[in-house]
Structures are given as C-alpha cells and as structure tokens.
Amino acid sequence: MTRNVVDPVTELWGDDLVPVARALLTSAVHCFARRGFTGTTTRDISTGAGLSPAALYVHFRSKEDVLFEIARRGHLRALEAVSVPEVLAGADDPPSRLRAVMSRFVTWHALHHVAARVCQYELAALNPEHLEEIAGIRREFPELFRAVIVEGVDRGDFAPVDAGRVVRALLSLGVDLVRWYRSDGPDSPEQLGRFYADLAVSMVSAVPGPPAG
C-alpha cells in the first residue's frame, strides 16, 4: 500500500534553497540510502535529479557538503517536530507531555525513515567540524526528553526512575526504527507513534515484580 503520494524527502528542505538545490538533496538521500555515501558519486546525485553530471558543483562544494546539508536540515526538522510550543508548554502534566514528545519523535522518524537512515548511518563520512555541528543539534534531543522525565519524577507522576537511562532507551526506540521501518508495513507512522507513546509511559511507571537479581 502507498500512504504517501508526495515523497516525504522533498519536505525536508527549506525555501532558502532554489528548487534545483532541493532536487539535488532529494536525489542524494535516495542515492546514499541505496548505495551508501562511499558508493555514490556526484554524477549519480546530479543525474538522479535529471541534471547534467557536473550540476551538483553549481550548488554544493562537494559530496561531503551535500551530506552535511542533508544531516543539518534533517536533524533540525526532527527537532522542530518534537519541540513545538504546544508540546513543551500546552500539555500541562508530564505524562501527556511525554506522550506528545515520544509520539512526535517516533512518527517523524517513521515518516522520514529513508532520510533518517542516511542521517544515522552515514555521519562518519562528515569532516570533523561538520560532525561537531551535527552532534550539537543531536544533544538537544536527550535534553528535551530529560526535562519531561525529571519533572514527572519530581511531581510524583512517574516512578523514581533513572532519567539518564530512560532517556537513552526512549531515544534508542526512535533511532533504531529507521533500521527496520518500511512504509508498506502494518503500522502507519502515526499508529507507531501512539504505540511508542504508550510504551514510554509504561517505562516510567513502577515496575511490577522483583528485580532480575
């Protein structure tokens, strides 16, 4: 079944880029997802966008620069998706906020699993300065989850969990689904988001039974 008539990759770029540059980034995501960064040439990216082989260099300095723009814009879009004001302030109680943040985080990663897979698995190909800039954006995600967990523990809405470990686990669930999620699977991105929001609330609730010892 096809749920998305529009390729979700095309929605990741901004109006500050001309249409040709956006088409090159979209083509690059599909090339990198299929053949990896190393296995892709700048010619593949240009011709994949219906352009002449050297067209890429009109808009980007290098293949690495293309990967950086994909990673930068991809990570910023994901961060926007989970940090909109109504999520951070509107949902008054920590359980509702945890559900909102987790469902948005998971829905975004499922909808954008192709681009997210590139953002996740090809980062090693970035140069050190670019990698550090992406790492800076990535550090916002655990902070965002941690704030909700800590507030819920402080208010007594959640069990006295170890916030750092729980945040790691919640992020793992979203990050790893880009490995296995497929658009033609049983769950829509929104259904998966709701399921993982329920799991997140379970994970901060009191654990029944004895510890594993």
Instruction: Pull the structure tokens for residue 122.
Output: 């090809």
Burial of 1 (0-12, 13-18, 19+ CB in 10 A): exposed
Span near its own copies by CB under 8 A; candidates 24-32, 80-88, 148-156, 187-195? 187-195
Strand, coil or helix: 154: helix
Q: How far apart are CA 195 and CA 113, in angstroms?
A: 17
Q: How far apart are CA 114 and CA 140, in angstroms?
A: 22
Beta carbons of 25 and 44 less than 8 angstroms apart:
no
3 scored as a contact of its own copies (CB under 8 A) = no
Instruction: Pull the structure tokens for residue 96.
Output: 């509702």
Q: Which of 4, 10, 38, 52 binds its own copies (CB under 8 A)?
A: 38
How many residues make contact with its own copies (CB under 8 A)? Answer: 42
Query: Strand locations in the chain, DSSP E?
Result: none
Of residues 49 and 166, the one with the C-beta less far from its own copies:
166
Span near its own copies by CB under 8 A; candidates 24-32, 48-56, 143-151, 160-168? 160-168
Span near its own copies by CB under 8 A; candidates 47-55, 79-87, 97-105, 143-151? 97-105
40 scored as a contact of its own copies (CB under 8 A) = no
Q: Where is 179: in which H helix or E strand?
A: helix 163-180
What is the radius of gyration, based on Cα positions, of the chain? 19
Span near its own copies by CB under 8 A; candidates 7-15, 63-71, 80-88, 184-192? 184-192
Span near its own copies by CB under 8 A; candidates 2-10, 60-68, 80-88, 179-187? 179-187
CB of 167 to its own copies, least distance (A): 11
Of residues 156 and 208, the one with the C-beta less far from its own copies:
208
Phi, psi of 156 (to 5 degrees): 85, 5
124 scored as a contact of its own copies (CB under 8 A) = yes
Q: How far apart are CA 105 and CA 7, in angstroms?
A: 19
199 scored as a contact of its own copies (CB under 8 A) = yes
Q: Which residues bind its own copies (CB under 8 A)?
A: 36, 38, 95, 99-100, 103, 121, 124, 162, 164-166, 168-169, 171-173, 175-177, 179-180, 186-187, 192-199, 201-203, 205, 207-209, 211-213
